[in-house]
Structure 1
Amino acid sequence: MRFEGKVAIVTGGASGIGRATALRLAAEGATVVMGDIDAEGGAALAAEGGGRIHFRPTDVTAEADIVALVAAAQELGGPHLLFNNAGAGGLRAPIDEIDLAGWDRTMALLLSSVALGIRHAAPAMTALGGGAIVNTASVAALAAGAAPTAYSVAKAGVRHLTRMAAADLARHRIRVNAVLPGFITTNIFASAMELTGTVRDTANAMIAQAASNAQPIRRAGRAEDIAAAVCFLLSDDASFITGTDLLVDGGLSVGPRHSWDPDTPGLFDALAVIAAK
């Protein structure tokens, strides 16, 4: 019960990583105020939360909704904790084909919403003597190839915003960290491709299989894997950690495939073969 007596805000909690994190926070004693545009999924989560999860319809691209979400947490005695998680795949076009409206929508959802979440939660946390914030970035923030350009740039922005916010808010005893998921089996990829029904389920299964084959840990990542990392960073177990990011990617970014797969030859293997001749 690490979070007994704490009030946490979770955005994008109706499904995936946000849902798993809201449930874990509640199971460990927190009262959770969850915001999402998915009213049906939000209501279902609240019903599952045993009275510890309170759902408020929230569009994180609307500043007024974020203000209202923080106010709802204040009515319950918080917020002590904030998980800025809401997001979607966003604009899929390469840089030479983007349109400004799509770019701006992606940045508003994935980057500006995080800044605004911190902006409006921080004064409330300061009044309570401090708090902890975790932002969802991505392995895509580290290098090209994991996600489309706009998404990757936004997540790189979240990663640096985390450091800047940690520096700004340290004087208020507010810790700020980021979690960088790898390929996790949620609907975000299928939703970005506008897939539904059985086609979406098939795509998710294919993504899970591809992910498990692309990393040293040979299984697909689960939302619960990220929830565990987020709850660690929000907890007092991480009281000496701020301004950093926790990579939770099954080893995806550890190196090229030959660095961890003995069946894949690398450059030095090829040179050894040439030298042997």
Structure 2
Amino acid sequence: MPELPEVEVTRLSFVERIAGASVQAARLGKPLRWALGCTPESLVGKNVLTVRRRGKYLLLDFDHGVLILHLGMSGSLRFEPDLPAPGKHDHFDLVTSRGTLRLHDPRRFGAVVYANSDDHPTATRLLGRLGVEPLSDKFDLAVFHAGLKERRAPIKQVLLTGDLVVGVGNIYASEALFLAGIRPTVRATKLSGPRAKKLHQAIRDVLFRAVDLGGSTLRDFSSAKGESGYFQLEAMVYGRADQPCRTCQSTIKVIRQGQRATFYCPVCQKT
């Protein structure tokens, strides 16, 4: 699944190119995760102001309204002046004066939803319960630590819930916990102030580094320019079960937590 870095990389790869464009046509293919919320024809004539990100959602701001996009499990966006005819897994096209934005989603767990504003019930239903953005200045250490103290679940699971800090998905939770030297099974409430500080910084460091490297392309992720990511090539633990730790040479372990694979080093992450 595309995680926060992949979504941010996608945003950066087309935000400047689509800003200022006017919508000329819209096409909706097979049904996606949620209904569009309007007719495709009603999007014609709207002007794109910018593209924001909230967690793993992309928000296309129009002069009137906002288009909320989610890449689901296997989705990706392309934005080009000329694209070929839609294929079997191309389920949404937004044709603008500067190019066509296309959602490609083989599994159809992605979504394209229109709302009149950020305050519209449709938008608040999708975005209203998301935690703080980890790449913003609002990701406050004291608030983060206080939130951890209220949660008895394993720290890896707490990071994945997205209500305390948003967008730290499976790949980057494993990587941040390794960088902070914290075992993924430790209860969140047991993290001391200094350890919470290490994790807070590790989350930011890992996510910023992933964005710099274009995200992680494990299967078919690519940016809106069609470019792959390279973070997976320098991952310390994720996807490296039974391989030697890059730091101490111990064997990387993998366990299941909440139906997700968690990778860690038993030596570098003792507690």
- After TM superposition, is the score higher than 0.5? no
The structure richer in helix per residue is 1
| TM value normalised by structure 1 | 0.29
Normalized per residue, which structure has more strand? 2
